[in-house]
Amino acid sequence: MNKPLRRIAIFCGLLILTLLIRDNWLQYVKADDLATDSENRRVNIARYATPRGNIIVDGKPITGSVESKSGDYKYKRTWVNGPMWAPVTGYSSQAFGANQLEKLQDGILTGTDDRLFFRNTLDMLTGKEKEGGSVVTTLNAAAQKAAFEGLGDKKGAVAAIEPSTGKILALVSTPSYDPSKFAGTSDDDAEAWKAVQKDNNPDDPMLNRALRETYPPGSTFKVVTAAAALEHGVVSGIDEKTKTPDPYQLPQTTTDLTNQHGECKNASLRYALMVSCNTVFAKLADSVGNEGMIEQAEKFGYNNKELDTPVRASESVYPEDNAPQNAMDGIGQASNRATPLQMAMVVAAIANDGKLMKPYMVDQLKAANLDTIETTEPEELSQAVSGETAQKLQEMMETVVNDPQGTGGKAKIDGATVGGKTGTAQHGLNNSEKPYAWFVSYAKLSDGSAPVAVAVVVEDGAANRDDITGGGLAGPIARDVMQAVIDSKK
């Protein structure tokens, strides 16, 4: 072979080798990425070629599928009472993708999960159409309804947990949205999608306030400060005098902190929580110190960037701060920020004798033939406080509800023991905005079990400022959620 022909042969051989490498790269290395690429229309066509599996609450589906009237997608997602369940399910849209459980469990719901391979192979051999599996949640329908109806047209959120397991029983955010309205690809779907975007709707209905919004927790955080003071030996008994002046001068400043209610000078821990003395808890936070306060807050779940339910929750933050700011952090102000889920976790740990369980909302994943693919096992996150400290905190929180001077009387439930804490969190420049109303609580039955812990926050921009109190606005909502859970146990 002469020299020019040899060069051409070598060049052609290199081209063929390059093509083979490229072909193998696409088929074996990039195959999964291409198959799941959101820009690949075949992915969506396949996703909506058959009815999606359902998301289940109390044994009943809260989702469904209907045939599309036009377009390439055969089936469209539907929801039962979409606005109530959207904070749990998220949306699944032919045009706009998916989020939350609809996205995280898409493989199960579409029947494409690798764990369904054997089932799908049998169906293919028998000629049966592929079916999606189901996602069985931990949610309690009655509690969800009570929370949703309790918030009504107010802006806010509710999170309720079963303390002994971490099961999420209710997860509500208002205002909400109906994912059915933009599940398809029509012009109406596009308009409905635009209407719920934050740029077009200042109420931001697609924000999951229960999981993804952080608020100053206000006086509800005082139960954490009380826990830190007891665990660090700053106080030993809940009925001992705390040697607190009224007003209390914030450390390293000339600023006096005052109280809204009660006789807070030298008040005991029990009395201070009952009437919500700012001075007592700010002084206790200073005595524990910033490091000690961070340590205690983190035992309750703060500063956790990877809390998955399986939907990722925003990080609740107890910050590294100077002395005066740490004192204010200790009463739930300054840079202290928490999600409603986080504050439900705090109360759940107290009700569970100090043991904090990881919150979760998916109980089981099932195949179309109802075979169980996966079951979530309860997982302990930490021993937030000792059993002894938890009992003292329970005594204090029950006084808040049961004593005539307490701020949580509207949360009482006949036949149950309720412990609670109100909160009115200031925010805005120089506290100029209307405060957030909080209430956190748990309910115990006669057998000593605690079936539910709940946190409620109401932003309520429509209320008169003087009317905004955690006990007045949020307490009745918490009571109704707890009552719904208790009734479902009967």
Catalytic amino acids? 219
Sequential DSSP letters for 118-176: HHHHHHHHHTPPP---EEEE---HHHHHHHHHHHTTS-EEEEEE-TTT-BEEEEEEES-
Query: Residue 288 to residues 228, 240, 282, 292: CA-CA distances in angstroms?
Result: 7, 17, 10, 6
Q: What angle do CA 455, 459, 465 make, to 5 degrees?
A: 120
What is the distance, to the nearest Å, from the Cα of residue 171 to the centroid of all Cα atoms in its chain? 7
Question: For 218, how many CA atoms within 13 A lie in the half-sphere containing its CB?
Answer: 27
Q: What 8-state DSSP symbol labels residue 340?
A: H
Backbone φ, ψ for residue 124 (5° rounding): -65, -40
What is the distance, to the nearest Å, from the Cα of residue 135 to the centroid of all Cα atoms in its chain? 18
How many Å apart are CA 65 and CA 55, to the nearest integer?
12
Q: What's the token pair of residue 395?
A: 């005594």
For 289, residues 6+ apart whose C-beta sits below 8 A from its C-beta are 326
Asked if 388 and 256 count as a contact pair (C-beta separation under 8 A), the reply is no
